[in-house]
Amino acid sequence: MERKRLNATNIRSAGYDVRNRVLEIEFANGGITQYTGVSAEIYRRLMNAPSPGSYYEDQIEENFTAKRVR
């Protein structure tokens, strides 16, 4: 999955698979986590948020099933 760079302290990049509704986030520590059941709108809001890290913590982290990839 191709990820786009984010200007955030704790998040390096994020990518989205529209077909499978999977959001992939690469963290500053090198870890990668995939979140399932994420809508395209949530991804769009994350990418356009003034503070992507805060948006992630408030809207994604605890609201979607996570699977650590790396």
Q: Residue 56 sits in which domain range?
A: 3-68
Distance between CA 20 and CA 37 in Å, rounded?
8
Q: What is the pLDDT of residue 50?
A: 96
pLDDT band per the 50, 70, 90 thresholds, residue 30: very high
- Work out how many domains the chain is built from and give that number: 1
**How far, CA to CA in Å, does 10 sit from each of 14, 18, 42?**
12, 24, 18
- For 34-69, write each residue's pLDDT tens digit: 999 999 999 999 999 999 999 999 999 999 999 999
